Structure 1
Amino acid sequence: MVHRYKNNGYNIVLDVNSGAVHVVDDIVYDVIPYLEQDGETPASIRDSLAGKYPEEEIKAAMDECQELKENGLLFTEDRYRPAIEDFKKRPTVVKALCLHIAHDCNLACQYCFAEEGEYHGRRALMSFEVGKKALDFLIANSGSRRNLEVDFFGGEPLMNWQVVKDLVRYGREQEKIHNKNFRFTLTTNGVLLNDEVMEFCNREMGNVVLSLDGRKEVHDKMRPFRNGKGSYDLIVPKFQKFSDSRNQQKYYVRGTFTHYNLDFSEDVLHYADLGFKQVSMEPVVAQPEDDYAIREEDIPKICEEYDKLAKEMIKREKEGRGFNFFHFMIDLSGGPCVYKRLSGCGSGTEYLAVTPWGDFYPCHQFVGNEKFLLGNVDTGIVHTEIQDEFKCCNVYAKEKCQKCFARFYCSGGCAANSYNFHGSINDAYDIGCELERKRVECAIMIKAALADEEKGE
């Protein structure tokens, strides 16, 4: 399978199964679709393109494509599909937990899937004892895996800060006993961020996600306090100080764009102008009846914004003002990750969410849906049939993924979005798929443009 597209003056060809990327001239770009078709011969291809290119150039282009094919860089077969049946039988090894340290929040974000931290239930804070049992479960079910991850999530985790610190301390004690290495992370809205929190995070947290929706008017509209007052002016100086204290590494300023700010590239560039170097901006996922939901008719505008952002990022990189945008960060050197294409996102198997009272769910977006309750910290995983279902959730199980060129970069997308829109974890959220394809195209184009710049130096 091959995907061809034009972006910012580049003719780009992606060989889907190998992950090889080629920037080609017009004639190779035009020859490739003929080579993919059954029944085409060199003579028929020359005849089809005779009015556009000289015969010797057509032949040279076909020879070039044949050489790439022989080297495993074009028209490659998917060698990993046959392995999927054996992969489904793999033992379940848990490597990461999302600890819902607080089902409570001090903001009232309009689009919050967690219902201001309540998750379809009651406000609650996780106790140290529940968190301790969760860490013990992770260690006991991690097999021979040494590196483990724990994300402190909410609601707003800083509303239960002492328990966060106590659990980190406990985790560090257990590392030595069990020969494990914990990587702790934290997601915060910044309202309670202070010097003590920053100092602790800089010492103990491998990554910190800082929630900010971009420009002041955008952020304050969607992320106000419960009294309606905006939170931008309070948190931005804190985030700037925090990101500088981490040397502009190991953090993300993460936002959500909605139907209200389809010009979201301006919000991303606002991040950069504030001095942030690690940024992310996610499309909101909401039901069609929500007034802020992304609609199908919004897709062309959103794609234009990704193109606009990609071009500006190239410009700023050349000027020495570059920054990283999460969705454009693709490693093209090794091809698509084999394990990821087979395992999907890992929710329900390698990755679990834990509620304040110790219940296990496949991920944070399933919390509160009793159909997906797996067990708890006292009983362990009881409903193994749910884990088995998630173990089979991957690009090969999803019909919509079969002809999608981006499938090995998203690994089939979000199971929760699939379920919420189609009632099955093995479907796909269609708007999300369209945007993922565009992001992959932009990410590859950026790599091509910067590589082109290096050649010219």
Structure 2
Amino acid sequence: MDSNVSVITLPGERNFAVVYPRGILFGLNAAQSELQELISEATETASQPETEYEFVAEYAELSIIPTFDCTLACKYCYARGGEFKDVMPLDTALTAISSQREKGSKLKLSLVGGGEPLMYMDRVREIVRTAHEMYSEVDIGVVTNGTFSKDTLLWLAENNVRVRLSFDGVRHKYQRPFPDGSDSSELVIENLKEAVKIGLDPIVQCIITADGVGTMKDTVDLLVGLGVKTVKFEPALATDVSRATQEMEPDPKQYAEQLLDTIKYVAEKGYDIAIDTGYFSEPSTDYYCGMPTGNKILTPHGFITSCVEVSSCTDPYSSKIMVGKVGYDGVKFNEETQKFLSTLHYTNQKGCKSFIFWTTPCLTSSVSNNDLNTPMTESQKSSWKIRVSTDSEKDILTKRGGE
């Protein structure tokens, strides 16, 4: 076996991880012949030269953080939502939306946090209405905490909005309370049930903390009962700007073991639910991180950032991550910063800590550690791929969250 390829035995019967310099392959319940196939594939892939990556957008894209205000006070919030009450001026949003028209006649518009993007619906309705006037087609997505009103729920359905709803399953009441400390789970569950009922088919985004690392299967049981078809588990992450502490982060090995066990559990139960592998598998070219793909995220203050976790000009790394500003005379970009960020791709970066088997921080840490100019060494380059050996387990894995 190539010295650059190693095999790690995982918990369970004949579960393996085959690790090589730029990736990892998994075999669950794999026969010896299947394990040898994985080793051969890893050896061959490791010997191949890397290809240059070039991102080509199919349509104009813009993400908007409508407000830093929030209806919840989540224990680990990456943006400390609700601590600031800023709401984006309508003119700021419309100027940014208009500036993207040269990119194409279609717009992919995402409403993200920040805070809770659906908190000020009058502003959101006007933004979307104007976007429809400017573009022939508008594809709308939202990441919401699920505390919206029934009127908002109907608006989401009427506008064919792609919904990603944050719900922490059996740990929700401990991790995502209202600002007064009371339990938000009853309202979120009710809205989740209604969203499923009217055909929104929401993706549930579930954060796993150290205290909840063993609850994934229980959460799957709960979600199946609610009719949810896709769940995306993510480990809690402490950053320079988040509320999360290091103690909240699950142990990577335990997290990996539990997630693999949950995948097998879903297959054995025959559940009609998919597990999104966005933080577990090789990213697709238009997914994972806005920095290398040229994504533009508009903050309530009118700054354009390339990372949703760097949304204030006082945040660490903001001078390197923010690429533009909306002003009275339109949108101005720092072309040098844009050009440099657009050359970055996950195959050329240190492992992102959001990936459960990686131990180094996300790309933003490179701003501080390497000033985004120091080439990464071969050992720092990583991408991950998941492979399972049975059709029933393959069927429950999805990258739907990257749509």
TM-score (structure 1 length as normaliser): 0.67
254, 259, 262: which is aligned to 1:306? 259
The answer to whether 1:377 aligns with 2:326 is yes
Q: Tell me the distance in 2 between the aligned counterparts of 1:108 and 1:91.
A: 38
Greater RCO (CA < 8 Å, at least 6 residues apart) = 2
Match of 2:117 in 1: 157
- Which of 1 and 2 has greater Rg? 1
The answer to whether 1:136 aligns with 2:98 is yes
Q: Find the residue that maps to 2:63 and give its secondary structure.
A: strand
Q: CA deviation at 1:14?
A: 9.2
Deviations 1:377-400 (A, max 9, x none): 235243223223312322443366
Q: Tell me the distance in 1 between the aligned counterparts of 2:76 and 2:279.
A: 26
Matches within 5 A, 1:109-120: 109-118=74-83
Match of 1:364 in 2: 308
Q: Tell me the distance in 2 between the aligned counterparts of 1:259 and 1:375.
A: 37
185, 189, 193: which is aligned to 2:141? 185
Is this contact kept in 1: 2:62–2:109, CA < 8 A? Answer: yes
Q: Tell me the distance in 2 between the aligned counterparts of 1:236 and 1:193.
A: 13
Matches within 5 A, 1:51-450: 75-76=44-45, 81-84=50-53, 87=54, 95-118=60-83, 122-140=84-102, 142=103, 145-154=104-113, 155-176=115-136, 181-194=137-150, 196-215=151-170, 218-246=171-199, 249=201, 251-265=202-216, 266-287=218-239, 290=245, 292-294=247-249, 298-317=251-270, 321-327=271-277, 339=285, 345-347=289-291, 350-368=294-312, 369=315, 370-371=318-319, 372-378=321-327, 379-398=330-349, 414-416=362-364, 418-419=365-366, 422=369, 440-441=385-386, 444-445=388-389, 447=391, 449=393
Amino acid at match of 2:211: Y
Change (3 A) 1:287 1:175: closer
Is this contact kept in 2: 1:280–1:326, CA < 8 A? Answer: yes
Amino acid at match of 1:186: V
Whichever structure has more helix as a proportion of its residues is 1
Change (3 A) 1:281 1:76: closer
Q: CA deviation at 1:19?
A: 11
Is this contact kept in 2: 1:348–1:361, CA < 8 A? Answer: no
Is this contact kept in 1: 2:302–2:325, CA < 8 A? Answer: yes
Q: CA deviation at 1:260?
A: 1.9
Is this contact kept in 2: 1:4–1:29, CA < 8 A? Answer: no
Q: CA deviation at 1:97?
A: 1.8
Q: Find the residue that maps to 2:135 and give its secondary structure.
A: helix
Q: Tell me the distance in 2 between the aligned counterparts of 1:316 and 1:256.
A: 23
Q: Tell me the distance in 2 between the aligned counterparts of 1:160 and 1:6.
A: 50
Change (3 A) 1:137 1:415: farther
Q: Tell me the distance in 1 between the aligned counterparts of 2:361 and 2:108.
A: 21
Q: CA deviation at 1:78?
A: 7.0
Q: Tell me the distance in 2 between the aligned counterparts of 1:355 and 1:231.
A: 26
TM-score (structure 2 length as normaliser): 0.75
Change (3 A) 1:287 1:259: farther
Match of 1:47 in 2: none
Change (3 A) 1:313 1:328: farther
Match of 2:398 in 1: none
Deviations 1:70-104 (A, max 9, x none): xxx972577673535xx4xx899984222011120
Q: Tell me the distance in 2 between the aligned counterparts of 1:3 and 1:92.
A: 37
Q: Percent identity?
A: 19
Deviations 1:101-152 (A, max 9, x none): 112012111111211245xxx4211232211111112223x2xx55431111
Deviations 1:215-267 (A, max 9, x none): 1xx212211111111101122112111122116x3x21112111221213132
Specify every segment of 5 or more residues in structure 2 that has no aligned partner in the other structure, as ranges: 396-403
Higher mean Cα deviation, 9-18 or 197-206?
9-18
Q: CA RMSD in A?
A: 4.2
Q: CA deviation at 1:4?
A: 5.5
Specify every segment of 5 or more residues in structure 1 that has no aligned partner in the other structure, as ranges: 37-68, 452-457
The answer to whether 1:26 aligns with 2:32 is yes
Is this contact kept in 2: 1:349–1:387, CA < 8 A? Answer: no
Q: Tell me the distance in 2 between the aligned counterparts of 1:361 and 1:293.
A: 27
Q: CA deviation at 1:174?
A: 1.4
Change (3 A) 1:3 1:200: farther
Change (3 A) 1:399 1:131: closer
